A and B are shown apart, each in its own frame.
Chain A
C-alpha cells in the first residue's frame, strides 16, 4: 500500500451526474477522469484519465490484455484502490472516498477468495451478518441464494471440499446475497475448463437477468466479452479505447488495436480520399468515412469471414499460400500482389470442394460495407 501516493483530486466535478432529471434512464456507475498512478522506482500509470458511465441493470464488460488497467478500474470501483485523481459516482452519490465495506458493491474475485474455515452456507451468510440483518431474514436469503446457484445440497460442506465450478457458484451467491447495487466480477471464469466456462457464461447471463443487478465484468477473453455483454469497453495501457455494443465493437472498431484484439483481422494499407479508399494493390472502393480521419494514408480492416473468393475481375488479385481446414470453416491465407497478407475464411458446405490449391491465383472480393477505415 505504501507505493500509492495519494494526490488530492484536482479536477473533481462537484455536480451530480448529468441525468438526474430523468431517473428512468438511470446511471449506476459514473467514473469521471479516473487516474491511478503507482509511484515507485518507475512510475506506472495503471489508469489514465478514464471516464465511463455504466447504466443500471447493464452487463458491462471491461476487456483488454493483461496489464491494461481493467482490474485496477474494477478495484477502484470496489474501493480497494483509491484513485490518484478523478471521482467515482454510484447512483448519483460520490463514493470516491468511501471505504469498500461501506460501498453497496460486491466482488466475485478471480480466485473466489472463499473463507476456508466456513461452510458454504456460512460464506453466503457473512455479508448479510455484517450488514446486521435479522437472523430469520438471513436464513431466508441464504436459502434463496443456495437455490439460485443450485448449491442447496452442498450447503454444509467446507469450501475446500467442493469443485472449482461449485466454488465459483458459492462466490457468486456470496456476492449476490447482500443485494449489491453493482456486482463486480474479476475474470471469474478464467480458472474453469472450457465446457464449464461456457455453461457459466450462460448461467451468469441468467443470474444477471433474474436479479436485475448491474454487472461489471472483467475479462481478457474477447469471445466471452462478445457473448455475454450488453456493452464492452476495450482497454489498453490504462485507457479506454472504445465503448460499444458487441456488434459495434466487432464490426466498427474505432482503432487498429481494438480490431486486432477482437476477432481475426486483415489490415490493408490504403489511401483515403473523400468517401473512397484506394489499395496499394489497386482498386478503389466506397467506404463509410469516419469523422476524425483525414485524407491520406489509412489502415483498412477486412474481417476474414467478410472476404470472399470471387470471379469478379475488379476483385483484388492474390496468390494462395496456405489452406487451413478447421471444421466449420476453412481459412485461406493469401498474399496480394502488393505483398500484403490477406486471410479469407470460407464456411464449409456439406460437400465442400473446389477450394483453391497452394500457389493458385485467386481474386478476393467483399460485400459492400465490409471495409472499415481505422484511426491508427
Chain B
C-alpha cells in the first residue's frame, strides 16, 4: 500500500476528530462521576484529618488521631499504646469472608454458567431470567428470609431435628458461617453472569479439537476452557469480592452485633461511635485495600496471559 502522504495525514486527522467527538459525548457522564465520586472522596480525606465533634460531626482542628487509631489505641487508664484488636479482627473477618465468598460463588457459579450456556439458544434467556428473579426483592427482605432458614427454630434446624440427624438446634445465626452463607447467596448472580458471557463465546469446536488431540476432560478444562474464560472469571471475582469487602446489610442482619465487618465498623463510627474522622479514615482505607487488591489481581493474571 503506497498511499500518498497527505492521505495518511487526512486519516490521522479524521481519527483525531472522531476521538474528540466521542470524548465530548462522554462529558456528561464524566461530570456525574466526578461530582458524585471525586467530590465526596475529597470531603472524606479532609474529614479523616479532623477531630471528632462532641456529639457528632467534626471540629475543624487538624489531627492524625483517626488514622493512628485504626491500628493502635491508647489505653484509657494508663495511656499505653495497644493494638486495636477489635479493628484487626474485623479486617481479618472481612477479608477472609470475602475471599471465601468469592471462592464459593466461583465454585457454584462456574458450573451454573456452563449449564446455562450449553442450553439450546432459545432456552438460555429463561435460565438467565431465573438468575435475576431474586434481585426483584429488596436485599434486606431476602437477608431476613435467610434468617428464617438458619435461626435456631428455623427451617434447616427443624428439618434436621425431625429427620433425626441432630438433637439440638445448631447455632448458625450470628456466626461467620451465616455471613458467608448470606453473601454467597446474594452475590452468586454477579459471578454467574460474566462467566456465562465468557463461556457462551467459547467455540465448541475448540473442545472437539482438544479431545481430538488426546486431551482428557481435565486437560481440556485446565488447558483450554479455563484460560479462555479467564476474563469472565476475573470480572466475576472482582464483582463479588469488592462489594463483599464493604458489605453492610448481610453482616448486620446475619452476623448480629458481634460479628462486624468493615462496612458495619464504618457505619458505627458515623452512628453510635460518633467518630466521623475515624469513619472517614476507615472508608478511605477500604478503598485503598480494594484498589491494591485489584491492581495485584490484574497484574498476576495478565502476567500469566503473556506467558501462555
Residues from chain A with Cβ under 8 Å of B206 in the complex: 113, 115-116
Assess whether A99 is in contact with B211, with CB atoms less than 8 Å apart.
yes
In chain A, residues 85-112, which have Cβ atoms closer than 8 Å to a Cβ of chain B?
99-102, 105-107, 109, 111
Assess whether B308 is in contact with A126, with CB atoms less than 8 Å apart.
no
B118's nearest neighbour on chain A, judged by CB, is A1
Q: Beta-carbon contacts of B24-45 to A below 8 Å, as 1s and 0s? A: 0000000000000000000000
Assess whether B212 is in contact with A78, with CB atoms less than 8 Å apart.
yes
Minimum Cβ distance to chain B for residue A271 (Å): 52
Assess whether A126 is in contact with B212, with CB atoms less than 8 Å apart.
no
A118 proximal to B (CB < 8 A):
yes
B96 proximal to A (CB < 8 A):
no
Residues from chain B with Cβ under 8 Å of A127 in the complex: 213-214
Known contacts A116-B228, A117-B227; is-contact A109 B211 (Cβ 8 Å)? no
Known contacts A115-B224, A117-B228; is-contact A107 B209 (Cβ 8 Å)? yes
Residues from chain A with Cβ under 8 Å of B211 in the complex: 79-80, 99-101
B226's nearest neighbour on chain A, judged by CB, is A117
B79 proximal to A (CB < 8 A):
no
Q: How many residues of B contact A (CB 8 A)?
A: 19
Assess whether B223 is in contact with A126, with CB atoms less than 8 Å apart.
yes
Indicate which residue in B203, B214, B227 contacts A130 across the interface (CB closer than 8 Å). Answer: B214
Indicate which residue in B208, B213, B228, B305 contacts A174 across the interface (CB closer than 8 Å). Answer: B213
B215 proximal to A (CB < 8 A):
yes
Minimum Cβ distance to chain A for residue B233 (Å): 14
A18 proximal to B (CB < 8 A):
no
Residues from chain B with Cβ under 8 Å of A178 in the complex: 213-214
Q: Beta-carbon contacts of A174-195 to B below 8 Å, as 1s and 0s? A: 1100100000000000000000
Main secondary structure of the interface of B (DSSP, over half): helix
Indicate which residue in A80, A116, A131, A175 contacts B208 across the interface (CB closer than 8 Å). Answer: A80
Considering residues A105, A127, A131, which has the most beta carbons from chain B within 10 angstroms of its beta carbon? Answer: A127
Assess whether B219 is in contact with A130, with CB atoms less than 8 Å apart.
yes
Q: A127 to B215, alpha carbons, bound, how many Å?
A: 7
Assess whether B214 is in contact with A131, with CB atoms less than 8 Å apart.
yes
Residues from chain A with Cβ under 8 Å of B212 in the complex: 78-80, 100-101, 105-107, 175
B216 proximal to A (CB < 8 A):
yes
In chain A, residues 116-131, which have Cβ atoms closer than 8 Å to a Cβ of chain B?
116-118, 122, 126-127, 130-131
Assess whether B213 is in contact with A130, with CB atoms less than 8 Å apart.
yes
Q: A131 to B203, alpha carbons, bound, how many Å?
A: 23
Assess whether A118 is in contact with B308, with CB atoms less than 8 Å apart.
yes
Q: A130 to B224, alpha carbons, bound, how many Å?
A: 12
Q: How many residues of A contact B (CB 8 A)?
A: 26
Minimum Cβ distance to chain B for residue A98 (Å): 11
Minimum Cβ distance to chain A for residue B207 (Å): 9
B206's nearest neighbour on chain A, judged by CB, is A113
Q: Beta-carbon contacts of B111-125 to A below 8 Å, as 1s and 0s? A: 000000000000000
Assess whether B215 is in contact with A126, with CB atoms less than 8 Å apart.
yes
Q: A125 to B196, alpha carbons, bound, how many Å?
A: 29
In chain B, residues 184-210, which have Cβ atoms closer than 8 Å to a Cβ of chain A?
203, 205-206, 208-210
Assess whether B215 is in contact with A130, with CB atoms less than 8 Å apart.
yes
In chain B, residues 163-187, which have Cβ atoms closer than 8 Å to a Cβ of chain A?
none
Assess whether B214 is in contact with A113, with CB atoms less than 8 Å apart.
no
Residues from chain B with Cβ under 8 Å of A99 in the complex: 211
Residues from chain A with Cβ under 8 Å of B223 in the complex: 126
Q: A105 to B206, alpha carbons, bound, how many Å?
A: 16
Known contacts A116-B228, A117-B227; is-contact A111 B205 (Cβ 8 Å)? yes
Residues from chain A with Cβ under 8 Å of B216 in the complex: 101, 130
Minimum Cβ distance to chain A for residue B117 (Å): 14
Considering residues B209, B210, B211, which has the most beta carbons from chain A within 10 angstroms of its beta carbon? Answer: B209
Q: A174 to B223, alpha carbons, bound, how many Å?
A: 16
Assess whether A117 is in contact with B308, with CB atoms less than 8 Å apart.
yes
Assess whether A115 is in contact with B209, with CB atoms less than 8 Å apart.
yes
Q: A116 to B210, alpha carbons, bound, how many Å?
A: 13
Q: A114 to B209, alpha carbons, bound, how many Å?
A: 8
Residues from chain B with Cβ under 8 Å of A131 in the complex: 214
Q: A102 to B26, alpha carbons, bound, how many Å?
A: 55
Assess whether B213 is in contact with A106, with CB atoms less than 8 Å apart.
yes
Minimum Cβ distance to chain A for residue B307 (Å): 11
Known contacts A116-B228, A117-B228; is-contact A126 B205 (Cβ 8 Å)? no
Considering residues A78, A102, A107, which has the most beta carbons from chain B within 10 angstroms of its beta carbon? Answer: A107
In chain B, residues 207-263, which have Cβ atoms closer than 8 Å to a Cβ of chain A?
208-216, 219, 223-224, 227-228
In chain A, residues 126-140, which have Cβ atoms closer than 8 Å to a Cβ of chain B?
126-127, 130-131
Assess whether A113 is in contact with B308, with CB atoms less than 8 Å apart.
no
Name 8 extra pairs, CB < 8 A, besides A105-B212, A122-B308.
A80-B211, A102-B214, A109-B209, A113-B206, A117-B227, A130-B219, A175-B212, A178-B214
B positions within 8 Å CB-CB of A:
203, 205-206, 208-216, 219, 223-224, 227-228, 305, 308
A-B contact pairs, 17 of them (CB 8 A): A79-B211, A80-B208, A100-B208, A101-B210, A101-B211, A101-B216, A107-B209, A109-B205, A109-B209, A111-B205, A115-B209, A116-B228, A117-B308, A126-B213, A130-B219, A174-B213, A175-B212
Question: 7 closest A-B pairs (Cβ-Cβ)?
Answer: A127-B213, A130-B214, A113-B209, A113-B205, A100-B211, A101-B211, A117-B227
